[in-house]
Chains A and B, each alone.
Chain A
Amino acid sequence: MNVIVCVKQVIDPEAPPASFKIDPTGNKMVTPPGVSPVVDPYAEYAVEAALRIKDVQGGKITAISLGANLVPEMVKKPLAMGADELILLADEAFAEGDSWSTAYALGMAIKKLGDYDLILCGREASDWDAGQVGSGIAEFLGLPSVSLARKIDITEGKARVERVTDDGYEVVEVSLPAVITVSNELGEPRYATIKGIMIARRKEPVVWKPADIGVESSQIGAAGRRSQLLKLFQPVREGKCEVAEGDSPEEAAVNLALKLREAKAL
């Protein structure tokens, strides 16, 4: 089994909400000071899904990250977790893309790699919360896709996927090669081991530029967008919290109930 996992570098989505600030001139999120970038959490679940498949089937896992300003120690995380190769589509021309231009470039890189059975993505990256790149790669490569996977089993050229639905899950069988996007219901990603981190440190990622994957700069990054970002903003919340007090937690609790009653919330 050759599995490709797409992994994005993002601002840590669990950084304190107050640390998220917008650059007023650039319609861009400012990287909060002291907050280091991370692997997008759902892609980490995708790496975990790939590793579980490899644990059973053997094979090779190739991680791909696209972006500008990729931080080597960060994007190497899939290697530290157990992936075999890392490809970086690292160039200014890839930056500021939308789902369309990102999926196109990733699709072209995967085409160049050629030998794959399965492509895994996260269900949505935690910056734009789009949830589209997996579908896009599938369309560009003419592959079937299954989204929101919580379990993947491989048997005889097929994947049996448990797909999360609004009221439970469904079992979907898909022929391979296919694209599958992974959700957190899969279960916690494993930690990188010390050995894994040492191996990752020594491994050099392969870097591809636009020309290496046969794309024009007009088709990728900001230039290749099909959707325009008009405005990025932070709505102000005027709300104020009425905190119930008391000499003891029990008394505060009683006061809370009384406040709610008074406000007709109970």
Chain B
Amino acid sequence: MAEYKGVLIYAEIGEGKLKAISTELLGCGRKLADDLGQELCAVLVGSGVSSLAREAIAFGADKVYVVDDPLLEDYQADSYVSVMAKVVKQVMPQILILGQTSIGRDLAPGLAFRLGTAAATDCIELAIDPDSKLMWQTKPVYGGNAQAIFTCQSYPQIATVRAKAMSPLERDDSKQGEVITIGADLDASAIRARVLEKVREEVEGIKLEEAEVIVSGGRGIGGADGFKQLEELAKILKGAVGASRPPCDNGWVADSLQVGLTGKIVAPNLYIAVGISGASQHISGCSGAKNIVAINKDPEANIFRQAHFGVVGDWKKVLPAFTSKVRELLAE
């Protein structure tokens, strides 16, 4: 095991940029690498991604490995797992960190099993045990009703990290680093699962993950019509509309609006939860909000244990009055 060294982060790319999660991972990886007194490396996998190596260095990486190949245009498990297994064998990092995204959720376990090591998914905290130098991997379990700390004694120790759980470093364009190219060596015929088409289902307006204000509705809203009122409030607050799972499952709103453990992770300044009971799986997605406001007719609802402000009442009566008062206050 002695030859494994350093921290490697898997940097995701979207729309020609490093995704927010990648800079968060670099921030967290930097700290782990410093605690170990080792290097922080990043790996970029894709097609036409080399130019982003500088970015990864500016956000904290000492070294960037680039695997650039037209066959890597889309994330496909077969090619990405095989490329990453090759990278790990060459780089031999002690720690490999990925994002808990639709890519990381797929790639991390696949890679861990391929390499014979374990992954901890959806971590919210990673730290180095001062004695054993192993990585403590803290993750919510039981839908957020508890947390667990895992360790793994085989290298690399692999973890995926939840969005918005870590802070990126300030960008430093003067930072120096090394860029190393690794060949993909892919055999196109070995790709058994192929992406045929990609469909984006984004709603108009401010992106949920980026919004400073989110007005979220739950099963208590009762239907698609009710969400129009939430939209109105969101518009006034220059925010976005979100939802718990039932409105998505029922087709009242797009699936992409789901906030929670298996939906989007958000951390706005203001999160207004209307007709949401506050199940742990939902709270997992919004507990990073600075101010949580609950509007619910049930005073015993768990959401009141999570919220900072609230009103007990029927949202159909509360919301119109609240909306008009907010409009009035903001106009002042």
Residues A239 and B312 in contact, CB atoms below 8 Å apart: no
Of B51-59, B173-181, B321-329, the one contacting chain A is B321-329
Rounded to whole Å, the gap between the CB of B159 and the closest CB of chain A is 10
> Looking at B114, B197, B302, which has the most chain A CB atoms within 10 Å of its CB?
B197
B134-168 to A contact mask, C-beta < 8 Å, 1/0: 00100111110111111111100000000000000
Of B36-44, B60-68, B303-311, the one contacting chain A is B303-311
- Docked CA distance A148–B193 (Å): 14
Q: Report B-chain residues with C-beta under 8 Å of the C-beta of A99.
A: 109, 118-119
- Docked CA distance A127–B281 (Å): 11
B192 interfacial by beta-carbon distance below 8 Å: yes
Residues A135 and B113 in contact, CB atoms below 8 Å apart: yes
- Known A144-B192, A252-B311: A131·B109 in contact at CB below 8 Å: yes
Residues B142 and A11 in contact, CB atoms below 8 Å apart: yes
Residues B142 and A29 in contact, CB atoms below 8 Å apart: yes
Rounded to whole Å, the gap between the CB of A136 and the closest CB of chain B is 5
- Docked CA distance A100–B113 (Å): 7
B229-272 to A contact mask, C-beta < 8 Å, 1/0: 00000000100000001001100000110000110000001100
Residues A171 and B195 in contact, CB atoms below 8 Å apart: yes
Residues B318 and A239 in contact, CB atoms below 8 Å apart: no
Rounded to whole Å, the gap between the CB of A80 and the closest CB of chain B is 22
Rounded to whole Å, the gap between the CB of A57 and the closest CB of chain B is 20
Q: Report A-chain residues with C-beta under 8 Å of the C-beta of B136.
A: 230
Residues A228 and B150 in contact, CB atoms below 8 Å apart: yes
Rounded to whole Å, the gap between the CB of A266 and the closest CB of chain B is 6
Residues A256 and B309 in contact, CB atoms below 8 Å apart: yes
Please name the residue on chain B nearest to A232 by beta carbon.
B148
A164-194 to B contact mask, C-beta < 8 Å, 1/0: 1111111111110010000111011000000
A100-143 to B contact mask, C-beta < 8 Å, 1/0: 10010000000000000000000110111111101110111000
- Docked CA distance A29–B290 (Å): 30
Rounded to whole Å, the gap between the CB of A256 and the closest CB of chain B is 5
Q: List 10 A-B contacts (CB under 8 A).
A: A20-B142, A20-B145, A147-B105, A174-B194, A241-B304, A241-B309, A250-B318, A250-B321, A253-B322, A256-B309
Binding site for A on B (CB under 8 A): 74, 76-78, 101-102, 105-106, 109-110, 112-114, 116-122, 136, 139-143, 145-154, 192-202, 237, 245, 248-249, 255-256, 261-262, 269-270, 278-281, 290-291, 293-295, 302, 304-314, 317-322, 325-326, 329-330
Binding site for B on A (CB under 8 A): 11, 13-14, 16-18, 20, 22, 29, 98-100, 103, 123-124, 126-132, 134-136, 138-140, 144-148, 150, 160, 163-175, 178, 183-185, 187-188, 225-235, 237, 239-244, 248-261, 263, 265-266
